[in-house]
Amino acid sequence: MKILVCDPIDEQGLARLRGAGHLVDAKLGLAPEALLKEVAPYDCIVVRSSTKITKAVVDAAKALRVVVRGGVGMDNIDAVACEARGIKVLNTPEAATISVAELAIGLMFACARRIGRAHELMRQGKWEKKALTGNEVTGRTLGLIGVGRIGSEVAIRARALGMRVIGFDPYLKSAPPALELTNLDAVLSGSDYLSVHVPFTPETKHMIGAAAFEKMRKGVMLIDCARGGIVDEPALAEALKSGKVAMAAMDVFEEEPLKPDHPLLKLDNVILTPHIGASTHEGQGRVGMAVAEKLIQMFGPANA
């Protein structure tokens, strides 16, 4: 099988595929036009979140049988175009779960203690200890919007910190042990901290917008390590300016990378990270191996 790897995949995974006799070409960072010229002979394309598999790519990929997304969200893949051609679309949702959950907890602490702002002020030579008084998370309520693999792991860690955890997920019939399952309005209005863990779909686009912010407690802290476009970023900027949202931490954005004039870049009460949820050595290793094992399971070793 000829495999085109378009985004970085851990070397262990590439070695596993090559060791099984498959031809693997890593051509990273291809521009859309260049990708169209490359894809024709490949049976499989492997991507992360950067490369977009559009209908034009699918049409140009004459031999394509499978697209693998190393990670969770698949909104960068035209699944409809793939389905029309009988092309399978796979992802590796389990591989980066712990990495993303730990980042969400880390960003919650960063919001609670204003760690990012403290660092910036120290770099400016300012010792503003009194202005940086934060909050403990113990005894506070964390609301989860989405309680899948990642949300459930966040809940376990939050409970270990002494937090009450409530969650909303329309696809769950019973709550995991670490949280209380309730409706969306109750999560929005009853949380001191909110963490977003839903996929990006037409139903979830801008679900955290002006109307949702209106229902939240004044001074709430928002963490989003899910997908860009779920939080309405201009509405968030207004909520941060008004103090409705005391602090926010965003790892994902509707358009990546951010443009220099993005409204969130002008605010002091927001922490911004460049989509690093899965960017741990452990997570990257698991993603690479998960990609390899899924392909070998599907097609077998070429040298069998």
Position 159 scores a pLDDT of: 97
Taking 70 as the threshold, does the pLDDT of residue 96 lie above it? Answer: yes
Residue 270, φ and ψ in degrees, nearest 5: -140, 140
Mean pLDDT of the chain: 95
What are the CA-CA distances from residue 119 to residues 11, 116, 241, 265, 289 (Å)?
34, 5, 21, 16, 36
Q: CA 230, CA 255: separation in Å to the nearest integer?
A: 12
Catalytic (active site) residue 281? no
H helices of 173-232, where? 184-190, 210-215
pLDDT band of 300, cuts 50, 70, 90: confident
- Rg over alpha carbons for the chain, rounded to the nearest Å, is 21
Condensed to tens digits (0 to 9), the pLDDT of residues 130-151 reads 999 999 999 999 999 999 999 9
Do 222 and 236 contact (CB within 8 A), yes or no?
yes
Position 179 scores a pLDDT of: 94
Position 304 scores a pLDDT of: 55
Q: Is 47 helix (H, G, I), strand (E, B) or coil?
A: strand
Catalytic (active site) residue 197? no
CA dihedral 100, 106, 112, 116 (to 10 degrees): -110
Position 86 scores a pLDDT of: 97
Mind listing the domains of the chain with CATH numbers? 2-93+281-299 (3.40.50.720), 97-272 (3.40.50.720)
Given the residues 22, 197, 275, 286, the one annotated as active site? 275
Q: CA 18, CA 223: separation in Å to the nearest integer?
A: 39
Position 6 scores a pLDDT of: 97
Compute the residue count for the chain: 304
Task: Characterize 167-192 residue by residue with b for buried, 16 or more Cβ atoms within 10 angstroms of its Cβ, and e for exposed.
Answer: bbbeeeeebbebbebeebebbbebbb
pLDDT band of 303, cuts 50, 70, 90: low
Q: CA 193, CA 187: separation in Å to the nearest integer?
A: 10
Instruction: Give the E-state strand segments of the chain in sequence order.
Output: 2-5, 23-26, 44-47, 66-69, 88-91, 141-145, 164-168, 180-181, 193-196, 220-224, 245-250, 270-272
What's the pTM?
Answer: 0.90
Q: CA 5, CA 26: separation in Å to the nearest integer?
A: 5
Condensed to tens digits (0 to 9), the pLDDT of residues 32-59 reads 999 999 999 999 999 998 899 999 999 9
Segment 17-30 mean pLDDT: 95
Residue 259, φ and ψ in degrees, nearest 5: -80, 150
Segment 112-117 mean pLDDT: 96
Segment 73-82 mean pLDDT: 93
Q: CA 258, CA 234: separation in Å to the nearest integer?
A: 13
Q: Using the Cα atoms of residue 145, residue 203, residue 216 and residue 172 in order, give the sign of their dihedral.
A: negative
Position 146 scores a pLDDT of: 97
Q: CA 134, CA 157: separation in Å to the nearest integer?
A: 20
Given the residues 114, 227, 233, 286, the one annotated as active site? 227
Condensed to tens digits (0 to 9), the pLDDT of residues 172-197 reads 988 888 899 999 999 999 999 999 99
Segment 8-27 mean pLDDT: 95
Given the residues 120, 128, 136, 256, the one annotated as active site? 256
